[in-house]
């Protein structure tokens, strides 16, 4: 017999492989036609058999690389920020925590159903161990015993049911143990006012909360937290109120079956709570009910300082406001769209003032409301180094006001920078570079914290100054220094010398970093007042303890917004006693 050439043999084998692949594809019902231009690849998978990456087994390698690992039971990533930011009570309930974790253990009241898995162990005269699935007839099958009906049996009664059936066959010497190994995998529809209605996987023992969480949670603006239904066909099997869970920790056990529907109804009537309440949220109530202020307060939980309540009625364009003491408002009815604000309407009986600095007395003073600064200073014992004539007052409300004014100036500057126009491309480029630098400077300036110092003109005004709760009085120590800071060569503390001028102190600190004619000098006095060199009324006399601030001069030729920057630099110097550089 003539030997067949090796090349001919390989050609026939290649043809046979192609033919076999085509036959398999045809028998499998493949609808794609064979393309003779495609290169032949042994063990090729026909296009119709390709599965999505999310359904591939972990570790499978595709032409695009390893298939992504998808954890069973994990829903696709969802942004829960809308729930967290909602002002609706219960909006922060759904964050993905329920969707990530299934049932760790089975409820003893779980009803065994078709598809559940039961672990059975027998020992003694007859040994047997297996995990049995409840068949469509509701039975599990044990050798020598036969079918045992377990459908409808509670989990806590499963052991007794199996043991009773076993005793009918084995009278002695055979012991048994039965437990629920796995609940039936089910697919449950989630519908209604949720973020992502759909069909979700789980088990019959999983909570309704887990399926709602997989669906992104209830839509806070449209969905109801009081009317969550579990439907099976046309029958409502259970109704769930999430308020019972949120307020009391009660969550009824609802066993789900394959094809059940978790339906979230439309949001019902609401009332908004603001003010002094732990749960200042929007609360929902049933349409057929009209709650009282007391019932809303039980959910909103007013704080201990709340004394009154303001009820704003939802009456259209004209808003009617009612005002009650909490004790009087308990039986007041509220309706859909009304607003409740809890307030503290009482005068402060006492205030607390702190005295710091150079003195020998206590630092905390409790005074009656309406006390004056002289009342406190009269109780303070001074020492030889105390400088009472320059006593300083720092107030939180002034600090907040200074911060608000600074932020307003910075916002105006920011708007000017962002809305500036240019007449040419080159000018636009320069303006952009300037704007970038200015915006960075604005962000730094926003972090400056004012001191909140109150300017006190003289001793008479000081003693008559009304105090507020939280005020701080600082008695400075006699000082022989003058602090020079800002645009000088060596910012430092200079020894006080009577009769020396501002320029002489600056000269002792190394002199100006820029021309003296361009410098802006501010002198901060201990009493909180300020003077600017060159302005009318400037007193060149420098006292011990004063602070000289040399501010940077903004070049109006290089900076389009030099006026705004100059104003803000002065505000920071006055409010915080610091020189904020550009």
The answer to which of 254-258, 285-289, 446-450 has the lowest mean pLDDT is 254-258
Q: Can you list the positions of beta strands (E) in 378-506?
A: 392-394, 453-454, 472-475, 481-486, 492-495
At 238-262, the pLDDT tens digits run 899 999 999 888 887 787 888 999 9
Predicted confidence at residue 445, as pLDDT, reads 85
Predicted confidence at residue 20, as pLDDT, reads 40
Tell me the average pLDDT across 462-469.
90
Predicted confidence at residue 582, as pLDDT, reads 59
| Band (461; pLDDT cuts 50, 70, 90) | confident
Gap between the Cα atoms of 83 and 94, Å rounded:
7
Contact 94, 212 (CB under 8 A): yes
Rama region for 102: left / alpha / beta (φ>0; ψ in -120 to 50; rest)? beta
| Band (302; pLDDT cuts 50, 70, 90) | very high
At 110-169, the pLDDT tens digits run 778 787 888 888 888 888 888 888 888 889 888 888 898 988 888 788 888 888 888 888
Assess whether pLDDT exceeds 80 at residue 408: yes
Task: Give the number of residues written for the chain.
Answer: 582
Give the residue with greater pLDDT, 217 vs 72.
Answer: 217
Domains (range + CATH), the chain = 88-103+185-266 (3.10.560.10), 117-182 (3.30.1950.10), 269-343 (3.10.560.10), 479-551 (3.10.20.90)
Give the residue with greater pLDDT, 451 vs 43.
Answer: 451
Gap between the Cα atoms of 172 and 142, Å rounded:
17
Predicted confidence at residue 101, as pLDDT, reads 58
Gap between the Cα atoms of 206 and 220, Å rounded:
23
Predicted confidence at residue 47, as pLDDT, reads 36
Give the residue with greater pLDDT, 44 vs 316.
Answer: 316
Contact 120, 129 (CB under 8 A): yes
Q: How many CB atoms lie within 10 A of CB 366?
A: 10
* 3-class secondary-structure state, position 274: strand
Instruction: Give the rounded distance of the alpha carbon of 463 from its chain centre.
Output: 47
Predicted confidence at residue 40, as pLDDT, reads 35
Instruction: Please state, in angstroms and as integers, the Cα–Cα distance from residue 68 to each residue in 64, 75, 79, 343, following that order.
Output: 11, 14, 21, 55
pLDDT, averaged across the chain: 79
Give the residue with greater pLDDT, 218 vs 566.
Answer: 218
Gap between the Cα atoms of 225 and 336, Å rounded:
16
In 394-406, which positions are buried (b, 16+ CB within 10 angstroms) versus exposed (e)?
A: bbeebbeebbeeb
DSSP state of 488: B
Contact 254, 237 (CB under 8 A): yes
Contact 156, 103 (CB under 8 A): no
At 331-381, the pLDDT tens digits run 999 999 999 999 988 776 788 999 999 999 989 999 998 899 999 998 999
Contact 355, 388 (CB under 8 A): no
Contact 386, 475 (CB under 8 A): yes
Gap between the Cα atoms of 129 and 530, Å rounded:
91
Predicted confidence at residue 563, as pLDDT, reads 65
Gap between the Cα atoms of 575 and 475, Å rounded:
19
At residue 26, φ and ψ (nearest 5 deg) are: -70, -45
At 549-577, the pLDDT tens digits run 888 776 655 555 666 777 777 777 777 77
Q: Which of these, 516, 538, 521, 495, lies nearest to 573 by C-alpha position?
A: 521
Report the percentage of the chain scoring pLDDT > 90.
25
Predicted confidence at residue 556, as pLDDT, reads 58
Instruction: Please state, in angstroms and as integers, the Cα–Cα distance from residue 140 to each residue in 110, 112, 149, 155, following that order.
Output: 17, 11, 7, 14
Contact 339, 311 (CB under 8 A): yes
| Band (533; pLDDT cuts 50, 70, 90) | confident
Assess whether pLDDT exceeds 70 at residue 500: yes
DSSP state of 478: P
Gap between the Cα atoms of 576 and 399, Å rounded:
10
Which stretch of DSSP H or E encloses residue 196?
Answer: none
Predicted confidence at residue 62, as pLDDT, reads 38
Gap between the Cα atoms of 393 and 526, Å rounded:
10
At 23-71, the pLDDT tens digits run 433 333 333 333 433 333 333 333 333 334 444 433 333 334 443 333 3
Give the residue with greater pLDDT, 538 vs 302.
Answer: 302
Q: Where are the alpha helices (DSSP H) in 227-343?
A: 242-248, 293-300
Assess whether pLDDT exceeds 70 at residue 475: yes
Q: What would you measure as the largest C-alpha separation in the chain, in angstroms?
A: 133
């Amino acid at each position: 017999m003539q030997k067949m050439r090796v090349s001919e043999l390989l050609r026939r084998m290649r043809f046979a492989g192609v033919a076999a692949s085509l036959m398999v594809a045809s028998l499998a019902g493949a609808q794609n036609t064979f393309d003779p231009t495609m290169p032949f690849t042994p063990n090729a998978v026909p296009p119709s058999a390709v599965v999505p990456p999310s359904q591939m087994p972990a570790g499978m390698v595709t032409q695009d690389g390893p298939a992504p690992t998808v954890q069973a039971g994990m829903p696709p990533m969802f942004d829960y920020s809308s729930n967290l930011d909602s002002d609706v009570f219960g909006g922060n309930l759904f964050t993905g925590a329920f969707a990530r974790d299934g049932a760790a253990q089975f409820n003893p009241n779980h009803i065994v159903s078709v598809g559940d898995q039961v672990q059975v162990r027998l020992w003694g005269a007859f040994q047997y161990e297996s995990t049995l699935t409840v068949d469509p007839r509701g039975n599990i099958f044990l050798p020598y015993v036969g079918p045992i009906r377990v459908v409808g049996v509670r989990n806590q009664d499963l052991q007794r049911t199996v043991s009773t059936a076993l005793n009918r066959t084995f009278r002695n010497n055979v012991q048994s143990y039965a437990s629920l190994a796995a609940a039936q995998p089910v697919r449950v529809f989630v519908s209604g006012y949720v973020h992502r209605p759909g069909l979700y996987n789980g088990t019959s023992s999983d909570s309704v909360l887990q399926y709602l969480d997989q669906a992104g949670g209830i839509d806070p603006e449209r969905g109801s937290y009081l009317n969550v239904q579990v439907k099976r066909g046309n029958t409502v099997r259970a109704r769930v109120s999430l308020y019972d869970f949120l307020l009391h920790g009660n969550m009824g056990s609802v066993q789900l079956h394959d094809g059940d529907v978790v339906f979230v109804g439309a949001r019902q009537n609401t009332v908004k709570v603001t003010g002094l309440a732990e749960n200042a949220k929007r609360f929902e109530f049933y349409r057929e009910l009209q709650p009282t202020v007391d019932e809303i307060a039980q959910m909103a939980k007013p704080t201990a300082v709340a004394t009154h309540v303001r009820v704003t009625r939802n009456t259209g364009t004209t808003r009617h406001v009612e005002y009650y003491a909490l004790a009087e408002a308990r039986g007041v009815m509220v309706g859909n769209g009304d607003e409740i604000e809890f307030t503290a309407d009482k005068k402060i009986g006492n205030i607390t003032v702190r005295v710091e600095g150079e003195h020998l007395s206590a630092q905390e003073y409790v005074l009656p409301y309406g006390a004056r600064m002289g009342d406190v200073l009269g109780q303070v014992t001074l020492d030889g180094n105390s400088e009472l004539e320059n006593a300083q007052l720092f107030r939180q409300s002034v600090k907040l006001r200074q911060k608000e004014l600074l932020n307003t100036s910075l916002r105006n500057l920011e708007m000017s920078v962002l809305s500036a126009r240019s007449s040419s491309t080159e000018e636009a480029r320069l303006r952009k570079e300037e704007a970038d630098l200015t915006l960075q400077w604005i962000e730094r300036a926003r972090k400056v914290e004012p001191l909140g110092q109150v300017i006190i003109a003289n001793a008479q005004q000081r003693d008559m100054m009304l105090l507020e709760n939280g005020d701080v009085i600082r008695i400075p120590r006699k000082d022989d220094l003058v602090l020079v800071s800002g645009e000088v060569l060596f910012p430092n503390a200079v020894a006080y010398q009577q009769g020396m001028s501002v320029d002489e102190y600056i000269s002792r600190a190394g002199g100006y970093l820029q021309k003296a004619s361009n410098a802006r000098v501010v002198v901060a006095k201990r009493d909180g007042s300020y003077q600017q060199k060159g302005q009318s009324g400037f007193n060149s006399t420098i006292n011990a303890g004063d602070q000289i601030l040399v501010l940077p001069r903004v070049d109006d030729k290089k900076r389009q917004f030099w006026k705004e920057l100059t104003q803000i630099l002065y505000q920071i110097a006055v409010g915080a006693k610091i020189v904020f550089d550009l």
